Chain A
Amino acid sequence: MKKKSTNSKFRKYILWTGLWVISFFVVSCVDNEMQDTEPEWLGASIFDYLVTSGNFTNYVKLIEELDYKEVLSKTGSKTLFVATDSAFNEFYKNNTWGVTRYEELTLAQKKLILNFGMINDAYLVEMLSNYYNGGLAEGAAMRKQSAVSVVDSVPLVNGNELPETKYWDYYRDKQIYLLKDNTLRTIIFFTQKHLDQAQVTDDDFELVTGLSRKAKDAHVFGVKILKRDITCKNGYLNILESVLVPPSNMAEYVTSKNNMTLFSRLLERFSTPAYDQNNTLLYRQLNPDFSDSIFTKRYFAKEGPNGSYSGPPGKTVGAAMLLPFDPGWNSYARNAVGSALESDMAAMFVPNDAAMEKYFNSGAGAILKDRFKEWDSIPNEILPVLLKRHMRTSFIESVPSRFFKMVDVDNSPLPVKKEHIENVYIGSNGVVFETNEVYPPDDYSSVYSPVLLSANDVSPTRKTKIWDWAIAQNDFRLYLNSMVSRYSFFVPTDEYFQNYIDPVSFAQDSCAALKFWYNTRTNSVYATVYAYDRATNVVGSDSLAVITNVEFIKNRMLDMLNMNIVVDGVERGKSHYLTKGNVALKVKGSGEDMKIQGGANVMRNEEVNVTRAYNQLNGHTYFIDKLIQAPLQSVYSVLSKEESFRGFFDLLVGFPASSLSAIFVNKTNYFGIDFNVKFFNTFNYTVYVPTNQAVRSAIVKGEIVPWESLIESGDTIVKGINDLECLAEKNAAIENLERFLRYHFQDNSVFIDGQPLSYLYQSATMKKDEQPTHWGTFKNKFYRIGVAGSGDNLTLTTENNKKVNVDKSMGLYNIMTRDIVFNNRPSTFRNYDNSGSGATYISSRIYTSSTAVIHQVDDYLSYKTGLNPVRKK
């Protein structure tokens, strides 16, 4: 029978109550009813047990020296992880602190050993996997906060040991009291229950800890618990296989390793000292002689001790510069539904120096070397995408058995393989996997890469800051990073972002040419306005206004982006390629000898030159020396100005404005530069314009009735619609004319572009009967046109098997047009110089557009089967 304790009843009551409450919350298996006498199995106090056992003299000394004897003898409810003297003897033979005997341990080291092995609560080992998170989460925990005080030791760091970035320069020639983190360190447990629940396999465990395990084994970090759950009256004692030296956090570990220096230096660029007022005051209270300030090392990150951290006031960085989490945050807690500090930790895949060198010198990273020569020269702006790929917010989702399904924040696979892992370190806030591979982001290999890498180029002719901003603002990055696609991406560099003729102003009295520039103070793109003379094609030299409105600039940039991306190669031997925005580009040459023209470039008789060509994994990126400009002329505009198109144009514009058959419209949702084709629908089209003679022929043959009577030599050859008296006859003639005209509008832009083709396209005229036709078109489908060509001509075959050829004799072919849709009629906006009346110029928007290529054809197109009746006088 064990002797009754001599402690006061009150203290005993507190202890028992504490143990009872804790066991309730952790669903303890300790079956301990409240009672006045201590049960026999309860044992001695933790301290008594250690003393009595006789083989914990090192630990007993730690307890006594650090003044914990009272606590561990009498009060409190603790869980302690201790090592025997023989384990300490092994520790003295080989440890990272270089300590060979107890006496060489510093006070701080002693505190670390004792406090790190102590949890301020009583837990059975299996109960360590439970935690309370609004409800009891059984088997879900793998971490607990330790009893190590943040200010147990506050290192004084020399300025020359600080990261070599501007944020630390002030301290370069000074010393600084610097905490690596100011949150509590955590102890990490691997228990059977948690491993099972998290589906972490024994193989995962072995790769992470280097130890094999048996069922029910429990480990603290990589140290096995030899004897567990020794029940003492003031808590539980667990005996470890070796001395538990408090591990560093991930950031400390990475920065301390001499084979991770390259990655570490990149990571350190995102760190900064942050004044720590609370710990400064606390430390001053504990050490009245201390009058200095304490700082904590912080990383720019989305998640950290106090949420997002973007730097000290006045020196903040943008959201794109934030790491996913602060790698030095001891009490790291994943920000995810159902996640808590206890349930998971972070992980990092850190390429060692050899891997970094290999990637830079001989791998896909050669593009970086080519551009920046060495790792340290890479601008900060380019690095977050690389670092983010290597930082994982969940250890559980990054164990080896899940390597195969890991993706980054952009949902791009992370191709880590077991054989890439050279070493593993279990830090207090996560696991660091040292790898022999670098996992570059898609941003480094896609067509976007040259823009990203050149965003901060010193040369304005190579700098791509404006385009990079436009891509970010309009969410094009992931589109351009799509590796299943193939792109040709044209990039005007900053120097050449000028002479943009704004389409809205083009339709106004005062026409503006914009020069875009990047404002480094506001990190935004602005536009300076110059006058543009349509007649002379001259851009004025005086800046007339500056546009700072982000939405306006974003809108025009979006339009430009859409016309600078071709979803395919542009070196396939054709002369014309369609962009994502349906705008056709005329392309000559290849690589750095390439010349490009959009419709407006043709109009202004200028060529855009490629200055540099990049061969990327998903296509080509071309830096160019002028802006590619889409056509500023609509179908209406072209047809109205060319005399050879007159016959066809007159038919098109004859419809009364209120008629549902009208083809050209200028009304809500169709507001363009002048008139838009009503049935165009954000697509690309071809318009076949019969010669004036052919139009006459169609009239004379009775295919159509013109608007005005055809009178020759005083004779009325054909009575025009406007002269018809019978309403039914008139309506029928109008409908017939509309259908005739629409048969000359075809879906898909087809150019005479040097490549043979043979294909069927749809017109804009609906088949309304079941008569068999040459192309077998079904009822209620658009009549079709067969288009064939050898590369320098086009022959059209109609539904009634009529052959019609593109007539190149007057050079009236491959004419590029664009029907733009604005948010309102251009005349309702004030001019760029604020003259005129109406809404501000900067409130104008380009909504969408359709493009068309116009060809003159030598005869009219007809879908009608059977013989055409010939009208007689």
Chain B
Amino acid sequence: MKKYNSVTMKHLHILLFSVFLFFGGLFSSCEIKDEPVVVSTFTQEMLGEYLEKRPEQFSEFVKLLDTTKVMSLVKAYGKYTMFAPDNNAMLEFYALKGRTELSQFTLDTLKMIAYDHLIKNFEITTNKFIEGLMPYLTMSERYVETSARTDDGVYNYYINQESKLLSRNIVTSNGVIHVIDKVMMPSTLTLDQALAKDSAFTIFYDALVETGLVYKIIAVRDESYDPLKWKHLDQNYHQGSGSRDEIPDSRKFGFTAFVESDATYAAHGIHNLDDLKAYAAANVYHENSADASVTDPKDPRNSLYKFVGYHLANKKMIKNKLIDMYYTKHMLTNYDMYEYIETMNPFTLIEVRKEAKALGGRNFLNYIHDTGESVQIVESNKDNDALNGVYHEIDKILIYDLKTVTEMSAKRIRMDAAAFFPEFTNNNMRIEDLDQPLSWVYPPGYIERLTFSEGTYFSYSNAFGGYLDYQGDEIFLKGLYDFELETPCVPAGTYEIRFSYQPTGARGAAQLYWDGKPCGIPLDLRITANDPLIGWVLPGADPEDPNGFENDKMMRNRGYMKGPNTYFDHINKWYGGKIARNSTASLRRILGIYTFDKASTHKFTVKAIREGQFMLDFLEFVPIEVIENEDVE
């Protein structure tokens, strides 16, 4: 017997207010108008049952789900969001494809259509919609673009700009249904094909071909990866967030291109490929000056190659995933936050700065503090989605020149551990959903820049409000682990390197190595910051040291630092809802001072020497020039 509840307006306002409090920060720059969320609940019906009971609306879509056996999925327990085309939409689709009925399509095609309309693990009501690509993937592993506009005075929501929501937020016991008037047909072009077809970026595309980099952005997925082969790794382990560690379903590749339009080039006197070559030759920074004379554009040392490579990353990052998604509720909104993206220009980074929310919360690429120069994404032409990537138009020329390397090598680079691994981004793991923290355990070889011993349990837990972690997420290990990861590249220089973690009684002890050399004696992760061995004192508790700066120096003398003052555990589950700097459960271990003669990646090795948990929050590379006057952020 179905149960229908109408939610009162009062409740709706409360819900709406809460929802916007939760997501306001997350989608601050691109939220959709705050229409009331009207929820229809059918909590005694599964998604599949709801559709089956309404043949007048969904008989064709039901037929599709039955044929593809997806129906059994949506009639079982789980969490889904379904975009259900009604019968008119299905018939229109048949006609568009020159068919009259469902049976005229191949099973593979039908399965893809079914998967295009289904998002697993997340229940997405319209209050989570944003103007642009949402950070959730359909079961066909495509992003969904949401938008809203007023048509003839009526406010409507759209999916992929074309499919209008006829009814929305139908909540069943295993998910949410939005009824749409047009079957979703995402593009199947790969990133290189999508760029080739876009007439606004011809010069860049020519350069992409000229350098051969076009061939580096065509991979879609690792077909050799078979999750069934790794079932034995499943230990039914539940993280503190409550999420159960899963074996990744697939191993997808992904890419992002930051692209200047022909018009932008023209404004800089670049009208064709030769002009671009000349521009690159004149401006690209070469760490090794001999590279300047390399003329073969397919040689990674060549100027044009470096120029084009600097526009490409091996992560598929919709704009929201450049930095906004990681600016979780953990982060205090009065501070800037930074992300670093490795590019295909070998050993270079793009810095993404998220300005403090109080200042506007804008995003900048390669912001130069002295001059205020930066590159920004053109809002009107962002998130151009392709099968294996996305491209964004940028408003100025993005280049790794002397100015950029100067800026980059003289500032603290703090990298969240999740930023090390493109697999986390490309397989939609590095996301935050306040309702649904998730976690994964990784088979060997899944993460390219990571190796570990057979007995190592290497997992990642995405952002959860109870964690006192930078950006809310963490790498987590347990037992007797032994792993080595390759860091993203850092510019040449002398750095103090720090490792951030949360000490708790459940941890173990580990020997840490940097580039193969032990970093002092083993680190006991059970010792909390207020242990006399470390000497943490709550800032403000000592009247003679009101800001805790003297205590900071004392801790440094012992090889430790407090956590930064820029984030906290926002649901106060275990750590008292304290800012990391004010918590005994947040520490940075100073690994040592290291000199890197050239920009390069590095090896960070961790080997358990006392069984227990281990976690990695972030690594910091701090040029020694910065240390003397470093802030507490």
Contacts and interface: CB of A to CB of B under 8 A. Distances in A.
Interface stretch (B69-77, B84-92, B550-558): B550-558
A475 B608 contact: no
Nearest to B508: A411
Contacts of B518: 479, 482, 484-485, 567
A782 B624 contact: yes
B409 A781 contact: yes
A102 interface: no
A478 B410 contact: no
B539 interface: no
Interface in B590-618: 593, 595, 607-609, 611
Contacts of B558: 847-848
Contacts, number: 100
A682 interface: yes
B405 interface: yes
B517 A405 contact: no
Nearest to A670: B553
A679 interface: yes
A367 interface: no
Interface string A776-807: 00111110000000000000000000000000
Contact of A485 (B496, B517, B627): B517
Contact of A781 (B232, B521, B556, B625): B625
A580 B518 CA distance: 10
Contacts of B609: 410-411, 478
A780 B410 contact: yes
A766 B550 contact: no
A821 B494 CA distance: 23
B60 to A, nearest CB: 44
A479 B624 contact: no
Interface string A405-425: 101011101000000000000
A411 B557 contact: no
Interface in B267-298: none
Interface string A470-511: 000011101100101100000000000000000000000000
Given A410-B609, A484-B516, A681-B593, A847 B557 contact: yes
B480 A747 contact: no
Contact of A478 (B406, B409, B511, B595): B511
Contact of B482 (A411, A679, A766): A411
A821 B607 contact: no
Contact of A411 (B496, B559, B608, B625): B608
A194 to B, nearest CB: 15
Interface string B574-586: 0000000000000
A669 interface: yes
A405 B521 contact: no
A474 B524 CA distance: 12
Nearest to B480: A411
Nearest to A485: B518
Interface in B400-435: 402, 405-406, 409-411
B348 to A, nearest CB: 15
Contacts of A567: 517-518
A682 B496 CA distance: 11
Interface residues of A, number: 37
A681 B590 CA distance: 11
Contacts of B623: 781
B493 interface: yes
Contacts of B402: 778
Contacts of B480: 407, 409, 411
B108 interface: no
B24 interface: no
A762 interface: yes
Contacts of B335: none
Contacts of A778: 402, 405-406, 409-410
A405 B455 contact: yes
A405 B521 CA distance: 25
Contacts of A821: 557
Contact of A405 (B406, B453, B625): B453
Contacts of A413: 453
A479 B550 contact: no
Q: Which has the most chain A C-beta neighbours within 10 Å: B232, B411, B455?
A: B455
B522 interface: yes
A781 B455 contact: no
A668 interface: yes
B35 interface: no
B494 A762 contact: yes
Taking residues whose C-beta sits less than 8 angstroms from the other chain, chain B's interface range is 35 or more
Interface in A346-380: none
Contacts of B593: 681, 683, 747
B520 A479 contact: yes
Given A747-B624, A848-B558, A407 B455 contact: yes
A13 interface: no
A778 B410 CA distance: 8
A68 interface: no
B625 A475 contact: no
A669 B553 contact: yes
B522 A479 contact: yes
A608 to B, nearest CB: 24
B406 A762 contact: no
A97 interface: no
Contact of B625 (A484, A682, A782): A782
A771 interface: no
Contacts of A766: 625
Contacts of B493: 781
Contacts of B554: 668-669, 847
A561 to B, nearest CB: 9
A716 interface: no
B627 A780 contact: no
A404 interface: yes
A779 B607 CA distance: 38
Contact of B511 (A479, A681, A847): A479
Contacts of B520: 479, 580
Contacts of A407: 453, 455, 480, 482
Contacts of B232: 199
B454 interface: yes
B422 to A, nearest CB: 27
A292 B493 CA distance: 78
Nearest to A770: B406
A747 B494 contact: yes
B131 to A, nearest CB: 38
Interface in A392-437: 404-405, 407, 409-411, 413
Interface string B453-488: 111000000000000000000000000111000000
A478 B482 CA distance: 14
Contacts of A482: 511, 513, 518
B400 to A, nearest CB: 13
Contact of A848 (B522, B557, B595): B557
A683 B628 CA distance: 14
B445 to A, nearest CB: 15
B387 to A, nearest CB: 38
Interface string B544-578: 00000010011011110000000000000000000
Given A405-B455, A407-B455, 14 more contacts: A404-B454, A405-B454, A479-B511, A479-B520, A479-B521, A485-B517, A485-B518, A669-B557, A766-B625, A778-B405, A780-B625, A781-B410, A781-B623, A781-B625
| Nearest 3 Cβ contacts at the A-B interface | A405-B454, A780-B410, A669-B553
Interface of B: 232, 402, 405-406, 409-411, 453-455, 480-482, 493-494, 496, 509, 511, 513, 516-518, 520-522, 524, 550, 553-554, 556-559, 593, 595, 607-609, 611, 623-625, 627-628
Interface of A: 199, 404-405, 407, 409-411, 413, 474-476, 478-479, 482, 484-485, 567, 580, 668-669, 679, 681-683, 747-748, 762, 766, 770, 778-782, 821, 847-848
8 contacts: A404-B454, A411-B482, A484-B516, A668-B550, A679-B628, A747-B494, A848-B557, A848-B558
